[in-house]
A and B are shown apart, each in its own frame.
Chain A
Amino acid sequence: MKLGVLFSGGKDSVYACRRAMEKNEVACLITLVSENLDSYMFHTPNIRHAKMQAEALGIPQLARPTRGEKEAELADLEAAISEAKERFGLQGIVTGAIESVYQATRVQRICRAQDLWCFNPLWQINQVDYLRQLVSEGFWVIISGVFAYPFDESWLGCALTEERIRILEGLQKRYQINPSGEGGELETFVLDGPIFLKRLNILSSSKTYANFRGFFTINGLQLVDK
């Protein structure tokens, strides 16, 4: 089955892509570039670099802009999926949804309207186990945004490691945060992993942070042979 992966460049879409590649053919990555930093549907920090991640993965990318307004972005997503279906002969769509019924429901409806299969290979996964799986399988994930108490500036740009996972596990127990950040608490960016043909190297970056909200913005990035 030829599949298109909804791709933000964050850990969830990358790992969903890995699982899809193990079972089927991933024909393209579909990226919605949202102008709204608080998009309901689409991961935003560093989204412009998803193009280079697609190159690193060796998979064609179809990127389309969206203003990121609550329901209009769904029409933009459907248009992008429809275009990818025609261009790449897709039979199904893959998402990195874990717990978000909001996201999953909307993509399921679009797939039904487009007569496409819908796959959510991370659905209901235990989030802490999943974070450990990412690290143990060799994915190099950095935190590219924080948006909730009690995340301080030290999280911005740091790598996901066993030590950080233990802290996230503690925060889950104490503050009921989603350790994978699916509730919008944090965003990630993937620089390398077992499905990457090349790895990504950050050349320059900047941070902005205030009141438990911050971005790690990648300004320069290059592909490096592995």
Chain B
Amino acid sequence: MILLVDLCYEKDSLSQYEFVHPIFDTLKRSGFSSEIRHFTELERRERERFDRIVLTGTALKDNDFAERIDLFSWLAECRKPILGICAGMQVISAVFGGQIVPQPAIGLEAISIIRESALLGEPREIEGYHLHNYGVTLPEGFLLLAGKPGEVEAFCHPARPIFGIVFHPEVRNRWIIERFAGLPF
């Protein structure tokens, strides 16, 4: 069972259709079960029920989650596979010592995968959908998987199955979500 952490500004918001349901549907169609929880309502006991975790994106103007990073401190000790998408990547970066920095981008752009990984595969160029006002700096020790040091597109933890991607895989790159759900950890 996969936990989808809804990072939108309120529970059951209008944004949920856009940033959470497409991931839920992608997982469902690939045979993976998931449940949605808003980031403000996650109890430790409940978190333990899930095998892996996806932190979703938010609307362009929605940065409420970044004011509540303390609610995500549990990620630092979590040993389960984690995928952070856009806002979710910003959360992972902040929890592991990186910074959230202004870096606006909207639309389809070329993404350079520069390092082989279980999630994104071999180095190559793909097209990804950007929708963010903020990007991240690479937390110390994390590996850059795509983009460049000043423009992090994707990263991973050096030893644990923790991934962040700034573009939205639910648009044109659903294979990334499916691959994360099926990765043997």
Contacts and interface: CB of A to CB of B under 8 A. Distances in A.
A122 B170 CA distance: 13
Report the interface size class on chain B.
20 to 34
Contacts of B13: 23
Contacts of B171: 101, 124
A65 B176 CA distance: 42
A119 B18 contact: yes
Nearest to B62: A117
A154 to B, nearest CB: 32
B61 interface: yes
A105 B108 contact: yes
A126 interface: yes
Contacts of B12: 23
Interface string A44-85: 000000000000000000000000000000000000000000
B132 to A, nearest CB: 11
Where chain A touches its partner, the secondary structure class is mixed
A122 B107 CA distance: 18
B131 A108 contact: yes
B106 A123 contact: no
B129 interface: yes
Contacts of B106: 105, 108-109, 112
Interface string A197-221: 0000000000000000000000000
Where chain B touches its partner, the secondary structure class is mixed
Interface string A97-122: 00001000100110110011111111
Contact of B18 (A101, A116, A123, A126): A123
A56 to B, nearest CB: 23
A127 to B, nearest CB: 12
Contacts of B108: 101, 105
Contacts of B129: 101
A2 interface: no
A24 B59 CA distance: 15
B104 A112 contact: yes
Contacts of B21: 124-125
Contacts of A126: 25, 29
Contact of B14 (A105, A121, A124): A121
A47 B22 CA distance: 30
Contacts of B170: 124
A108 B129 CA distance: 12
B22 A123 contact: yes
B50 interface: no
B15 A124 contact: no
Contacts of A20: 14
Contacts of A116: 61
B60 A124 contact: no
Given A108-B131, A119-B15, A119-B18, A124 B25 contact: yes
Interface in B34-64: 59-62
Contact of A119 (B14, B29, B133, B172): B14
Contact of B107 (A105, A111, A120): A105
Interface of A: 19-20, 23-24, 94, 101, 105, 108-109, 111-112, 115-126
Interface of B: 12-15, 17-18, 21-22, 25, 29, 59-62, 104, 106-108, 129, 131, 133, 170-172
**Which 10 pairs between the two chains have the least Cβ-Cβ distance?**
A124-B22, A121-B17, A105-B107, A23-B14, A123-B18, A119-B14, A120-B18, A108-B106, A117-B61, A124-B170
Given A20-B14, A23-B13, 12 more contacts: A23-B12, A101-B108, A101-B129, A101-B171, A108-B60, A111-B60, A111-B61, A121-B17, A122-B17, A123-B18, A124-B18, A124-B22
